[in-house]
Structure 1
Amino acid sequence: MIESATASPRERRRVETTRTLVSLTRRATAAHGLAGFTIEEICAQAGVSRRTFFNYFASKEDAVLGVPLGADSADEDEFFVAMRPRTPAGQLSHNLVDDFATLIAARWAKLDIDRASAAELMAAAEREPQLLPHMLERGRLDQQKDIALIERREQLQPGDPRAAVLVQIIVHLGHLALPLSLDPDDPEPFPAALQRLVATASALFSSHDRHRLPNPHDPESAA
C-alpha cells in the first residue's frame, strides 16, 4: 500500500480508502471484538458502501490484517523467478537467498506497516483471539506458495527440503526485522534490517559454501 510519486489520483484514492478501512476495522475490533460491529458501521464511518468494502477486502479478518484483495505479488514473483542465473537444475543459484529476501521486503512494503498501524493491529489481536488462527493459516498458505515458487525457480524436485528451510529462515528473519523497523528511537528500514539479519545468518552457516548449499539428492554434495 505504498504510494508512488507517479500514482494516479484513482490509485491514491484506493490507497487512502484502504488505509481508512483497515484502521477503522482494527479499532472497532480492539474495542468490540469482530462480532461486536458490522461492516455497514465501518462503511458509514469511512463514507463508502458495503459493496466498496468487499471490493477491497474479502472479510473483516483480512481488513484487520491489512491484506486487501488483489494484494498478490504475481509480478514480483515472476521477476524473482526470472532473476535466476543460468544454473544447472537442482543446484541453488548463488543469488537465491538475497533475491528471496528482496521479494519478502517488497511484500512487507505493500502492507504499509508503521508504528501507529502496528499498535492498532496488536490491540485488535489482543481483543480478538479468533484472529490468531486466521493469521497462522494465512501464513501457512503463503509459505506453501513460496516453497513451490522456489522449487519452480530453482528447478527442484517437489518436496526438496532446501526450499522449505529457506522459506522458514527468511520468514522468521522478517519477523525479527519488523520490530527493528518500528523502533521509536532508532528505526531501521525494513529492507535494510532484513538484509543485515540475512547476512548474520549467512555468517552463522559460513562452514558451508554460500554459493552452493548441499543437495540432499546428490550424495557427493552432501558429503
Structure 2
Amino acid sequence: MHSVIESATGVRDRRRAETTRTLVSLARRATAASGLTGFTVEELCDEAGISRRTFFNYFASKEDAVLGFALHHDTTEIDEFFVAMRPKTAPGELSANLVSDYAALTEARWTSFEFDHTDAAELMAAAEREPRLVTHMIDRHRADEVKDFALVARREGLPADDPRVVAAVQIVGHLARIAVPASLDPDSPTTFAAALDRQIAAAHALFSSQTPNDTESTR
C-alpha cells in the first residue's frame, strides 16, 4: 500500500511540475509577444488545457506565472535542514559554517526551480517587452530577503537585524546573482553550484587578506 501511495504521489508531482512549466513558458511567450495586458488568464488556460480555477491553484497572478513563482513551490524542508545543520556554538557567536551552509541552501533552492537556458531566453524576452516585471521581481526579492534574515537569525540565535545576519544574507545573495548568468553561459558551461562556490571562495580570499578596520584608532 505504501508503494502504491508513493507511486500515485510521484505521478501527481510530475504532472504538477509539467503543468507548472507549461504555464510558465506560455505566459512568458505571450508576454514577450504582446505584453502582460495583451492576453488574459482565460486565454492562457485554454492554450494549456486547464481551467481558470486550476491556474490560480498554481499562481497568484500572471506576473508570478511569467517569473515562475508557483504557489506550491515549498522550500520548508531544506530551510529547516539548514537550521538544523548549525553546530554547537557559543551564544552570540556565528557558527563557522554559516556562509557555506547558506550557500548550499541557495544552491538547493535554485536547483528546485529547474531554470535552464530556454527559461532564461524566454524570461529575458518577456522582461524586455514588459519592464514592470523587473519591479515585480525586485519586490519579491526584497520580501524573500527579509524572510531569510529571519531564517538565519533563528538558526544563529540572533536578532534578525544583527549586522552579521544581514551581511551573510546580502553578500551570499549578491554572489548568487552573479553566479546565475555564469551558470547559463553557453560558452563556458558550469553549474550554478560551481559558479557560486567560486564566488564564495573569491570573497573569502578577499576579506581574509584585508586588515580589519580598527574604528577606535580612527576616532
Q: Taking structure 1 as the reference length, what is the TM-score of the superposition?
A: 0.88
Q: What are the within-5 Å matches in structure 2 for residues 81-92 of structure 1?
A: 81-92=83-94
Q: Distance in 2 between matches of 1:169 and 1:157?
A: 18
Give 2:50's aligned residue.
48
Q: Give the superposition deviation at 1:193.
A: 1.0
Q: How many residues align?
A: 207
1:108-132 CA-partner distances (Å, limit 9, x unpaired):
1122111111010011111112212
Report the counterpart of residue 102 of structure 1 in structure 2: 104
Shift of the alpha carbon at 1:207?
4.0
Evaluate the alpha carbon distance shift between residue 24 and residue 82 of structure 1 in structure 2; reply closer, same or farther with a 3 A threshold: same
The corresponding residue for 2:11 is: 9
Matched, 1:179 2:181: yes
Aligned to 2:194: 192
Partner Cα separation in structure 1 for residue 71 and residue 162 of structure 2:
31
Amino acid at match of 2:164: R
Counterpart of 1:3 in structure 2 is: none
1:203 corresponds to which residue?
A: 205
* 1:205 match: secondary structure: helix
- C-alpha change, 1:197 and 1:30, in structure 2 (3 Å) is same
Please say which of residues 61-70 and 155-164 is displaced more in the overlay.
155-164
The answer as to 2:28 corresponding to 1:26 is: yes
Normalising by the residue count of structure 2, what TM-score does the alignment of the two structures yield? 0.89
Residues 152 and 160 of structure 2 are in contact (CA less than 8 Å); yes or no, is this contact kept in structure 1? no
Q: Tell me the alpha carbon deviations over residues 45-80 of structure 1, each in whole angstroms, 9 at most, x when there is no partner.
A: 111111111111111011001110021311111111
Distance apart, 1:34 and its partner CA = 0.6
Q: Which runs of 4+ in 1 moved over 3 A?
A: none
Out of 72, 75, 81, the position equivalent to 1:70 is 72
Deviations 1:5-61 (A, max 9, x none): x87121111111110000000000111111110011111111111111111111101
Compute the RMSD of aligned alpha carbons.
1.9
Report sequence identity in percent.
61
* Structure number with higher relative contact order (C-alpha < 8 Å, ≥ 6 residues apart): 1
For the 8 Å contact 2:149–2:160, the answer to whether it is kept is no
Tell whether the 8 Å contact from 2:28 to 2:123 is kept in structure 1 after alignment.
Answer: yes
Aligned residue for 1:58, secondary structure, equals coil
In 1, Cα distance between the equivalents of 2:21 and 2:161? 38
